[in-house]
Copies of this chain bind each other. A is one copy, B any other.
Amino acid sequence: MTDGVQVIAERSGTAFRLPRGAILTVTDPKGEQVADLLAYNAADVREVISSGRTLDYAETISLTTGHALYSNRSQVMLTIIADSVGRHDFLLTPCSIDTFHHFYPDLKPHRGCFGNLAEALAPYGIEPDAIPVAFNCFMNVPVAADGKLRVLPPVSKAGDHIRFRAEMDLIIGLTACSAPDSNGGSFKPIHYEIETVADQAAVL
């Protein structure tokens, strides 16, 4: 028993509360679509997801089932409890009007995931400057032996998903990514579902 599947339309974003113990499932319904995810402590939004802390503790950039996502205060915010893809990015910040100017000078600029997240998070008192590196679900950014980064199409297929358990009361920001290269050249929706602790008990 949940509120069911929520849809994030292509090139848009949203924000919502995710209580401690709740499970968030992020699904790529059509395949090859990235979803940028941010997390803030609902009780104090200055505490925020931290790529640097997470990569340090995990000792890998290949985060998947069993890994914890840490805050800038070294607290676990989310644990990845299932992952049908196994390839996500935690190096890059959300695409923005500036990254569109840089990478796609011939395309009509878009405010990108950064702009979408900034608007969605504003009601929670979170400023644009407080948007850090996001956990980019399904984003495929291999690091070559010489350090070079490439943004390749996601390896996710239709219906692939990643599931997180909230380890504290959180504000989540989540997008259907807007950048051509990150999404195999086309823009698709992202689906998500929240199961609260009560939802999980009702299933038992």
Residues of A within 8 A of B (CB): 46-48, 50-53, 55-57, 59-62, 72-74, 91-93, 96, 98-99, 102, 127, 129, 131-134, 143, 145-150
Assess whether A91 is in contact with B52, with CB atoms less than 8 Å apart.
yes
Quick one: closest B residue to A64, CB to CB?
Answer: B147
Assess whether B93 is in contact with A59, with CB atoms less than 8 Å apart.
no
Can you list 7 A-B contacts with CB-CB less than 8 angstroms, sorted by A residue number? A47-B129, A50-B132, A55-B91, A55-B149, A60-B148, A61-B143, A61-B149
A132 to B133, CA, bound (A): 10
A33 to B85, CA, bound (A): 38
Assess whether A131 is in contact with B72, with CB atoms less than 8 Å apart.
yes
Assess whether B60 is in contact with A129, with CB atoms less than 8 Å apart.
no
Given contact pairs A74-B96, A148-B59, A46 touches B91 in the complex (Cβ within 8 A): no
Assess whether A91 is in contact with B93, with CB atoms less than 8 Å apart.
no
A143 to B150, CA, bound (A): 14
Residues on B with C-beta less than 8 A from A145 are: 145
Residues on B with C-beta less than 8 A from A50 are: 93, 132-133
A73 to B114, CA, bound (A): 11
Report which of B60, B99, B133, B149 forms a contact with A147, defined as CB distance below 8 A.
B60
Quick one: closest B residue to A93, CB to CB?
Answer: B52
Assess whether A59 is in contact with B149, with CB atoms less than 8 Å apart.
yes
Assess whether B92 is in contact with A61, with CB atoms less than 8 Å apart.
no
Quick one: closest B residue to A99, CB to CB?
Answer: B56
Residues on B with C-beta less than 8 A from A59 are: 148-150
Given contact pairs A60-B148, A61-B91, A149-B59, A72 touches B129 in the complex (Cβ within 8 A): yes
List the 8 closest pairs (A to B, CB-CB), nearest first.
Answer: A62-B147, A52-B93, A74-B98, A52-B133, A46-B129, A61-B147, A60-B147, A56-B92
Residues on B with C-beta less than 8 A from A51 are: 51-52, 91, 133
